[in-house]
Amino acid sequence: MAGKKELVLVLDFGGQYKELIASNIRGQKVYTEIHPGHLSAKKIKEMNPIGIVFTGGPKSVYKDGSPLADPAVFQLGIPILGICYGMQMMCHLLGGKVQPAAKGGEYGKTKTVLDESCPLFHGMGDTITTLMSHLDEVTATPEGFRVAAHTKGCKIAAVYDKKRKFYGVQFHPEVKHTQLGDKLLHHFLYEVCRAKGDYDIGEYIEEASVQLRERVGDNQVLLALSGGVDSSVCAALIERALPGKLTAVFVDHGLMRKNEGDEIEGIFRKRQMNFIRVNAGERFLGLLSGVTDPEQKRKIIGGEFIRVFEEESRKLGAIPFLAQGTIYPDVIESGGSAAATIKSHHNVGGLPENIGFDGVVEPLRGLFKDEVRALGRQLGLPDFLVNRQPFPGPGLAVRILGEITEEKLEVLRNADAIVREEIDKLKNRPDQYFAVLPGIRTVGVVGDERAYDYVIGVRAVCTTDFMTAEYAAIPHRILGKISARISNEVKGAGRVVYDISGKPPATVEWE
């Protein structure tokens, strides 16, 4: 996709917001790629970027083994923006000083005083709120640098050397908590790097189609369609590029939300592809019978999904190409993250490569989620599909704690439909919202009779990256309505509770 487009390189030093930086830059019409922080200056020169961003990171630049950029990168004449650790590292490598912060560091929204004459801050006024998250700080700037911002706890919160076009900010312009962060990045791209803004997702369909035709030729392609955003957009793109050559297999594992399987079928049956729905609910529920451990549930569902898919592809005869809806964040994540496995996320599109295909095509491999959604709209997919909230591959199996039964699934589906329906009516909707069934029964009274029914948990979170999240402050009026409707309309649900946990320490899903 890069082609002859202008490129901004994001060099990764372990920061958790690297994808936000890159997708923000692409949203500002400049193509960008994320590469490891230690990429050599020689390689960088070959890639010919118009600018470089150093991400944040958890380490201390002055400690042995901390990731550092190739010092020769500063000789290339390319503008650089260092963010948080990236700014500290730039200062460290250019002769400044970085130390543990005198006041122990800063964390959270912080009033930051700007020097508006710094090109990054043009037109921003003299004070903004920024997100700070650091334990170290720059205590002496390298030669040629000026200080461009400070806070109560940090004397050097931004630095720049206008001549060499090196800029650094201690805060995170890429997160929503920082006011005018988009504008700051825009200034870096357009005033400092002099970008023209030649990246347009609209051209992607044509470019990707040409590549798909070259790769696949006259062959047939098989796709595992989950009905999620990525596999749906992937299907629509291949359908457009290779008319009549796509077979999409939708394995309904019986763990979908209310009416979901039929909705997915309704959309794709009408399109110009061979669509196969496999109703495998009984098979999955049989295997899950008596299983209570969340990781075991995920493994059973993942393994069985592959078996069902293999069986179907065998029935279809030899289809040489397998398509997968892999997107850029999947590629970045599989590039070797040392993070501990909290949950083994199972994406139904994530099939192993050794299942008997000559080749795998992944036409969304270079795109961020927002771009995939934009592409889906251009390909004529309905809004509700394109704007879907994330839904775990193992489906409702990880929203029912303990053993999964038909009875529990029915209660959860009905309660979940009400939660989504009511929250959908809000103007400012949270980023993800759903019901869970913790498997606990509770005593109640219905009419004059004792009842003993399931507890329903309501979960709603606000987040940009799903790595951290805050519980959504849903108005009590709406929560009351959800509770009343579930109690009245859902047989088997006896009590409704609202989950007010943030991530961390809780995760978004309950399992």
Active site residues: 84, 172, 174
Q: What is the DSSP string of 241-265?
A: HSTT-EEEEEEE-S---TTHHHHHH
Query: Is 58 exposed, middle or buried (CB count within 10 Å of its CB: 0-12, 13-18, 19+)?
Result: middle
Query: Is residue 503 a contact point for ligand XMP (CB under 6 A)?
Result: yes
Residue 230 vs 453, nearer CB to ligand XMP: 230
Q: Which of 134, 172, 240, 346 binds ligand XMP (CB under 6 A)?
A: 346
Using left for φ > 0, alpha for ψ between -120 and 50, and beta otherwise, residue 142 falls in beta
Residue 36 vs 390, nearer CB to ligand XMP: 390
Q: How far apart are CA 114 and CA 471, in angstroms?
A: 32
**What is the amino acid identity at position 497?**
V
Query: Is residue 466 a contact point for ligand XMP (CB under 6 A)?
Result: yes
Query: Is 507 exposed, middle or buried (CB count within 10 Å of its CB: 0-12, 13-18, 19+)?
Result: middle
Task: Return the structure tokens found at 7.
Answer: 């490129």
Neighbour tally for 54: CB within 10 Å: 29
Residue 81 vs 508, nearer CB to ligand XMP: 508
Min separation Cβ 302 and ligand XMP, Å = 9
Query: Is residue 468 a contact point for ligand XMP (CB under 6 A)?
Result: no
Q: Tokens 């806070």 appear where?
A: 151
Min separation Cβ 35 and ligand XMP, Å = 25
Query: Is residue 509 a contact point for ligand XMP (CB under 6 A)?
Result: yes
How far is C-alpha 153 from the geometric centre of its chain's CA atoms? Answer: 32
Residue 345 vs 369, nearer CB to ligand XMP: 345
Q: Which of 139, 220, 501, 507 binds ligand XMP (CB under 6 A)?
A: 507
Binding residues with ligand XMP: total (CB under 6 A): 16
Query: Is residue 253 a contact point for ligand XMP (CB under 6 A)?
Result: no
Q: How far apart are CA 22 and CA 274, in angstroms?
A: 36
Please state at what angle helix 260-269 crosses helix 229-241, rounded to 10 degrees: 10
Q: Which of 52, 432, 458, 482 binds ligand XMP (CB under 6 A)?
A: 432
Phi, psi dihedral angles at 33 (to 5 degrees): -135, 150
Contacts of 151 (CB under 8 A, 6+ apart): 106, 110, 111, 112, 113, 130, 132, 157
Min separation Cβ 350 and ligand XMP, Å = 8
Q: Which of 335, 359, 390, 480 binds ligand XMP (CB under 6 A)?
A: 390
Enclosing H/E stretch for 31: strand 31-36
- Stretch in the footprint of ligand XMP (CB under 6 A) among 196-204, 243-251, 393-401, 470-478: 393-401
Return the closest-CA partner of residue 277 out of 243, 307, 237, 308. Answer: 308
Phi, psi dihedral angles at 218 (to 5 degrees): -95, 10
Query: Is residue 345 a contact point for ligand XMP (CB under 6 A)?
Result: yes
Min separation Cβ 347 and ligand XMP, Å = 4
Query: Is residue 412 a contact point for ligand XMP (CB under 6 A)?
Result: no
Residue 121 vs 391, nearer CB to ligand XMP: 391
Task: Show the site string, 284-313: x = touches ligand XMP by CB under 6 A, - = not.
Answer: --------------x---------------
- Stretch in the footprint of ligand XMP (CB under 6 A) among 71-79, 189-197, 263-271, 392-400: 392-400
Enclosing H/E stretch for 452: strand 449-462
Residue 414 vs 432, nearer CB to ligand XMP: 432
Q: Which of 109, 299, 343, 377 binds ligand XMP (CB under 6 A)?
A: 343
Query: Is residue 399 a contact point for ligand XMP (CB under 6 A)?
Result: no
Query: Is residue 174 a contact point for ligand XMP (CB under 6 A)?
Result: no
Q: Which of 393, 430, 457, 494 binds ligand XMP (CB under 6 A)?
A: 393
Going 422 to 427 to 432 to 438, the CA torsion angle's sign is negative
Dmax of the chain from CA atoms? 82
Q: Which of 254, 394, 457, 494 binds ligand XMP (CB under 6 A)?
A: 394
Min separation Cβ 184 and ligand XMP, Å = 28
Residues that bind ligand XMP (CB under 6 A): 298, 343, 345-347, 390, 392-394, 398, 432, 466, 503, 507-509
